[in-house]
Chains A and B, each alone.
Chain A
Amino acid sequence: MAGAVTDAETTSFLSRAYREHGARIHAALVRRVHDLELAEDALQDASVAALEQWKDERPRDPAAWLVRAAFHKAVDRIRRSRLDATKRAEIEALEEAFDPELSFDPLAEDDRLRLMFLCCHPALPFESQVALTLRTVSCLTTVEIARAFMLPEATMAQRLVRAKQKIRDARIPFRTPDLDETGERIDAVLAVVYLVFGEGYAATGGAALVRDDLCTEALRLARLLVDLVPSSGPAAGLRALLLLTDARRAARVDPAGDLVLLEDQDRSLWNREATARGLAEVERAIHLGPSRHPYTLQAAIAALHARAPSPAETDWRQIVSLYGLLREASPSPVVDMNHAVAVAMVDGARSGLALLDAIGAEGELDGEHLFHAARADLLRREGNLAEARQAYERAAARATNEPERRFLARRIRELG
Chain B
Amino acid sequence: MQYLLMIYAEESAWGTLSEAEQGKIMSDYGAFTKSIIESKHLVGGNRLQDVSSATTVRVRDGRTTKTHGPFAETREQLGGYYLVEAKDLDEACALAARIPGARHGSVEVRPVASM
> Which residues of A line the B interface, CB within 8 A?
121, 123, 169-173, 175, 177
Chain B 76-115 interface residues, beta-carbon cutoff 8 Å to A = 87-90, 93, 109, 111, 113
Residue total for B at the interface (Cβ-Cβ under 8 A): 9
**Can you offer 22 A-B residue contacts whose CB atoms are under 8 A?**
A121-B89, A123-B89, A123-B93, A169-B111, A169-B113, A170-B89, A170-B109, A170-B111, A171-B1, A171-B87, A171-B88, A171-B89, A171-B111, A172-B88, A172-B89, A172-B90, A173-B87, A173-B88, A173-B89, A173-B90, A175-B90, A177-B90
CB proximity of A34 to chain B, nearest CB, Å: 10
Q: Is the interface of B mostly helix, strand, loop or mixed?
A: mixed
Chain A proximity of B87: nearest CB distance (Å)? 8
Complex formed: what's the CA distance from A9 to B55 in Å?
69
With a cutoff of 8 Å between Cβ atoms, the chain A residues found around residue B87 in the complex are 171, 173
Looking at chain A's contact residues, the main secondary structure is loop
- One digit per residue, 1 when the CB lies within 8 angstroms of any chain A CB and 0 when it does not, for chain B 1-29 equals 10000000000000000000000000000
Q: How far is the CB of B91 from chain A (nearest CB, A)?
A: 8
> Taking the nearest CB of chain A, how far is it from the CB of B19, in angstroms?
35
The CA-CA distance from A172 to B91 in the complex, in Å, is 9
Assembly CA distance A283 to B35 (angstroms) = 47
In the assembled complex, the CB of B56 is this many whole angstroms from the nearest CB of chain A, namely 27
Closest to B91 in A: A173
Q: Which residues of chain B come closer than 8 Å to A177, judged between CB atoms?
A: 90
Closest to A34 in B: B88
B106 to chain A, nearest CB (A): 14
Chain A residue with Cβ nearest B93: A123
Tell me the bound Cα distance from A111 to B89 in angstroms: 19
> Which A-chain residue is minimally distant from B110 (CB atoms)?
A170
Give Cα A172–Cα B111 distance, bound, in whole angstroms: 10
In the complex, how many angstroms separate the beta carbon of A64 from the nearest chain B beta carbon?
Answer: 28
In the complex, chain A residues whose CB is within 8 Å of the CB of B89: 121, 123, 170-173
